[in-house]
Amino acid sequence: MSLFVVGTMAYDTVKTPFGQRDWALGGSATYFSMSASFFTKVNLTAVIGEDFNGADLSMLEKHGVDLSGVIRAGGKSFHWKGEYGFDLNEAKTLETHLNVLMEFDPKLPEAYKNSEYVFLANIDPKLQRKVMDQVKNPKLIACDTMNYWIQSARDELVKTLARVDILVINEGEARQLADTHNLVKAAGIIRGMGVKTLIIKRGEYGALLFHENEIFAAPAYPLEEVFDPTGAGDTFAGGFMGHLARLGDGKLSQTKLRQAMIMGSVMASFTVEKFSVERLASLDRKEIAERFHRFKGLTSFEDISGEIA
Amino acid sequence: MSLFVVGTMAYDTVKTPFGQRDWALGGSATYFSMSASFFTKVNLTAVIGEDFNGADLSMLEKHGVDLSGVIRAGGKSFHWKGEYGFDLNEAKTLETHLNVLMEFDPKLPEAYKNSEYVFLANIDPKLQRKVMDQVKNPKLIACDTMNYWIQSARDELVKTLARVDILVINEGEARQLADTHNLVKAAGIIRGMGVKTLIIKRGEYGALLFHENEIFAAPAYPLEEVFDPTGAGDTFAGGFMGHLARLGDGKLSQTKLRQAMIMGSVMASFTVEKFSVERLASLDRKEIAERFHRFKGLTSFEDISGEIA
């Protein structure tokens, strides 16, 4: 099934305790589509500047990402500069240059309008709705957001949330959006806004899925070397949505959602092993399968409740 | 199999965003033994002051905890005063009155010396060794420690660690002890000190087990109401060691250790639901079995690695 993503394509300058990359390929839609491309065809919409590197576009196309919805505008590409300390869970933003993103007005090519799976990465919630309006008959819509929109455009965001099936946000954002610290309570409040299914990402601690009356806890893969957490959340979303799109019937079951949560975690665990999309670019399906199997090993135990009661 | 614990029995004054308790029953050995008592006979050694409440001792005895190793000394009982913000992962210590703990010189009753399972809660690492010297033929020794000993008595602590099978510490302590941020690396360094099996507690994020070449990630149970995290770590250790002592052959397998990790997490999830040991005091085995089963629901997913490769 075809999977559509709208988000950013960017160049990032990132410093971590383990090194630095200047103007490395980044952006939510880039990470998402690279990740999802291992599972399904991806239709990408984003805006890039005159400076965007043709080799980066070719690399995405080689991964089966359709770029016919990518608009090249006059000006420079979106550029983010950030730094991580040893606590890799939290980025310190040093500079944000929106550049061409300021004028982003997503218009979907005709072929994209039949996309069945839709991911609205973190952009202005008004634009997220504008994109939804263009997709004819989506089977499943998921979105991300960030603290900036929660704070400055809450009403617009709430309107968007009422129209999506799945929200994928991080722990701090969930607390901010619900205005409560306890995550289970926060999940209840956010789902009250109309989001049926909620995923709360917790960085190196994994992610929680709230669906129907059940909670699923996916761990993060414990890695000895984490070089750069940039893009981990978008890569997670790409693996998650990519897996659901591959299965393809648009129905959400606990079984499929849980597999998708692990697939997202698998993909994110690769991204952080190198800078930028370097690790995703060299990845193959055998490595993905092997790590998925390792997640099983990481979490499995015998249910001995019968012995205790 | 008999399980021995040495640690503190205390009165805590605790303030959380959800209320306050003054001079409530606390202490590492109290939480540990209440928790372990659901699975096995517990022999407890600690020092208490003249002010220690007879009703609290009776409550522990009613749970099958042997108190013949509890020494009543002249003076006041250990008293800790602390406060938690909405981030319940971190306590702010306001006052610590060691009182009778200053002179604690653990001497085990004869009957205790045959204990097969041993837990050395967080006390001076020199005292931890002194206790080990008195146990004749232990099958399994586990210990806890804290930042204070890591900083002020590292050499003594390292001597203790070389003699224990399992170390149970929290995330921050693991990083401090290993002097490295990455937990997988930290685990390697700590196990290099002679600890065969390492458990790293991560509060609301669960706990990690490092045993042989495998890592197991146990989630914490997502609770809508967390009233007071005091004692969660010691309760975890009590459920963990209690389960292993109940199984009883002293051999550590992945299967048993993983079950014990979940049992520890189950017990800790109850403790935090109320202040002090209130929830443990009212708990029954049916509730324990039911929550163990819920942990299975919280973590289970299908291994679909075969479909992907």
Is residue A250 over pLDDT 80?
A: no
User: Measured between beta carbons, which residues in chain A are less than 8 angstroms from residue B181?
Assistant: 17, 86-87
State the ipTM, two decimals. Answer: 0.94
Closest residue by Cα to residue A4 from A299, A244, A296: A244
Q: What is the full DSSP assignment across A54-70?
A: HHHHHHHHHTTEEEEEE
Is the pLDDT at A309 greater than 90? The verdict is no
Dist. CA A69–CA A47, nearest whole Å: 9
Domain ranges of chain B: 3-301
Residue in chain A closest to B209 (alpha carbons) equals A298
Query: How big is chain B, counted in residues?
Result: 309
Q: Provide the pLDDT for residue A174.
A: 97
- Give B270's Cβ-side CA count (13 Å radius): 32
B158 or B307: which carries more pLDDT confidence? Answer: B158
List, for residues A210-220, the tens digit of each pLDDT value.
999 999 999 99
HSE at residue B147, side-chain half, CA atoms within 13 A, is 7
Cβ-proximal residues to B95 (8 Å cutoff; 6+ apart), any chain: B13, B79, B80, B81
CA distance A143 to A273: 25
Mean pLDDT of the region B138-159: 97
Q: Could you give the C-alpha distances from A209 to A88, A183, A217, B279, B308, in angstroms and in order?
A: 22, 11, 6, 27, 22
Spatial separation of the C-alpha atoms in residues A258 and A87, rounded to whole Å: 28
**CA nearest B187: which of B173, B126, B124?**
B173
Confidence at A69, pLDDT banded by 50, 70, 90: very high
Taking the C-alpha atoms of residue B7 and residue B146, their distance in angstroms, rounded to an integer, is: 13
Q: Chain B residues with CB inside 8 Å of A219's CB? A: 206, 217, 219
Task: State pLDDT tens for residues A142-174.
Answer: 999 999 999 999 999 999 999 999 999 999 999
Q: Which of A205, A261, A302 sits opposite B255 (nearest CB)?
A: A302
Q: How far apart are CA A261 and CA A243, in angstroms?
A: 9
Rounded to whole angstroms, how far apart are CA atoms B173 and B154? Answer: 12
Average pLDDT over residues B19-29: 96
Neighbour count for residue A213 (Cβ, 10 Å): 5
CATH 3.40.1190.20 given to domain B3-301: yes
Q: How far is B86 from chain A (nearest CA, A)?
A: 6
Tell me the average pLDDT across B25-31.
98
What pLDDT sits at residue A251?
Answer: 83
The stretch B292-296 carries a mean pLDDT of: 97
The residues near B249 (Cβ < 8 Å, ≥ 6 apart) are B139
Pairwise CB contact (< 8 Å): B289 & A298: no
Note the pLDDT of residue B251.
82
CATH class of A3-299: alpha beta
Q: Which residues of A touch B208 (CB under 8 A)?
A: 222
Q: B222 to chain A: nearest residue by CA? A: A184
- Predicted confidence at residue A284, as pLDDT, reads 97
Question: Which residue, A36, A102, A98, is CA-closest to A65?
Answer: A36
Q: Which of A250, A242, A245, A252 is nearest to A1 (CA)?
A: A245
Query: What is the pLDDT at residue B308?
Result: 84
The distance of A129 to chain B (nearest Cα, Å) reads: 32
* Phi, psi dihedral angles at A66 (to 5 degrees): -80, 120
Confidence of residue A141 (pLDDT cuts 50, 70, 90): very high
Q: Nearest-CA neighbor of B195 among B177, B182, B181?
A: B177
Name chain B contacts of A208, Cβ cutoff 8 Å.
222
Burial of A208 (0-12, 13-18, 19+ CB in 10 A): buried
> What type of residue is A203?
G
pLDDT at A220: 96
* C-alpha count within 13 angstroms, C-beta hemisphere, residue A63: 28
Average per-residue pLDDT for chain A:
96
Mean pLDDT (chain B, rounded):
96
Tell me whether strands B10-16 and B19-26 are parallel, antiparallel or unpaired: antiparallel
| CA B273 – CA B151 distance, rounded (Å) | 32
Is A293–B303 a contact, with Cβ atoms under 8 angstroms apart?
yes
| pTM, full prediction | 0.96
- In this predicted structure, the answer to whether residue B249 has a pLDDT above a threshold of 90 is no
pLDDT tens, residue by residue, B65-116: 999 999 999 999 999 999 998 888 778 999 999 999 999 999 999 999 999 9
Q: Do B206 and A217 touch (CB under 8 A)?
A: yes
Q: Per residue in A88-108, pLDDT tens?
A: 877 899 999 999 999 999 999
Contact (CB<8Å) A293/B299:
no
Q: What percent of chain B has pLDDT over 90?
A: 93
Task: State the residue for tokens 């239709």.
Answer: A43
Smallest CA–CA distance, residue A206 to chain B, in Å, is 9
